[in-house]
Structure 1
Amino acid sequence: MNPTTTALVLIEFQNDFTTEGGTLHGAVKDVMDKEHVLDHARQAADAVRAAGGAVLHCPITFAPGYGEITAHPYGILKGVVDSSSFVRGGWGAEICQELTPVDGDIVIEGKRGLDAFGSTNLDFVLRSKGITTVVLAGFLTNCCVESTMRSAYEKGFEVITLTDAVGATSVEEHDSAIKFDYPMFSKPMSTDEFVAALGADRELADASRGY
């Protein structure tokens, strides 16, 4: 895990999920509170920045009226439309205060579906920066995070998922995805484990360069 070839990808840390008053906050609040998701995501972001890695934000947004998707959505996107979530220009679609992008962060635009690679230039940005290790955090554990995890795995990246920096609409769904699906397509680890490994690898890399 060379920090300079590592990117933390933060998926949908937006007010509609993360913040009191958000349209979907009530659905994910239990898991957020149980796992201390925002604290762990911020811890990971600070560690990656300090080590010289990249932090990428992948929000999802839609124009008012949701013209970018089918007029008859079903599944998770129907829930987004029915709850009027992630409308571009609205407070709910904004990245939450706790994870506001800082100078040097990259905001990936164009996410309209589940897989963060699907309708964006995420793959191009990662490869152009020489990224080989992708670290995932965000929402939902068993939806957009898992979809992105599977694609990253298929694309040949080393994939790490931060098990306490992801959130779902129920503890059962969250725990099930982490137990059964995540090990198939990633290296699941806690934020503390990731930060420790990142620091150890940074020290080894510095030592090899004579720092």
Structure 2
Amino acid sequence: MTRDELMRRLAALRQAQVGGRRAPHKPLLVLWLLGRFAATGRTHVELLPARPGVPEQAVRLLMDQHFTPALEPVIREAVGLDPAVLGGVTDLAVGRGRRKRRAGFTEEVLAAYAYACAFCGFDGALGRHPVGLEAAHVRWHSQDGPDEVANGLALCALHHTLFDAGVLGLRPDLRIQVSPVYVARSEAGRAVDALRGRPVAAPRPGRPGPAPVHVEWHARQVYKGAGAGAA
């Protein structure tokens, strides 16, 4: 199998749905195989052309198409992919076109929320530069979420990760939900529970809050509500 053939097949990989929710078992299995390849130089299936750069391109394509950046370190560690495997990939113009992130999205979202986390109010800065604040997509960019303020929230790095992992969610009235699956022993960990029922900070006048259609998508596809597994 050539590099181009592999990338086309990976780009066409369809994601299953179980009960109307995303079930990313196929891309996760392929990432696990890539982790085995990175660790041993071989896999249980003849999948990868033994050429430098191909595994890295395959990992980058799957991460971009099926997941969100905040989850990348967690997935990478779980499947045994060293961070270096994801570096140096620039050419992915094969198969289905990748939708580029719109320049300016991050700055527009952070400015809309006055450079403070919409969940906890964290507004740290290093001099004049915000630190530990990120622009989160409510509907993931990889899942056709638009790069618009109405699909964004300014969140601190911790709450961004928890939001993308489904620990935190939004009710239709824009109050914060905390997954019943979430548990914590430390005082710091239990501070997340204190967010339950708290209203999300409103954006500055003239800027839209999260659109209901994106809130509903996150609640259905990401948030781990009652009966959801921890995986």
State if a TM-score over 0.5 links the two structures.
no
- Bigger relative contact order (CA 8 A; separation at least 6): 1
Shorter chain as denominator, the TM-score bin is: under 0.3
The structure whose residues are more often strand, as a share, is 1
TM-score by length of 1: 0.25
Rg larger for = 2
The structure whose residues are more often helix, as a share, is 1
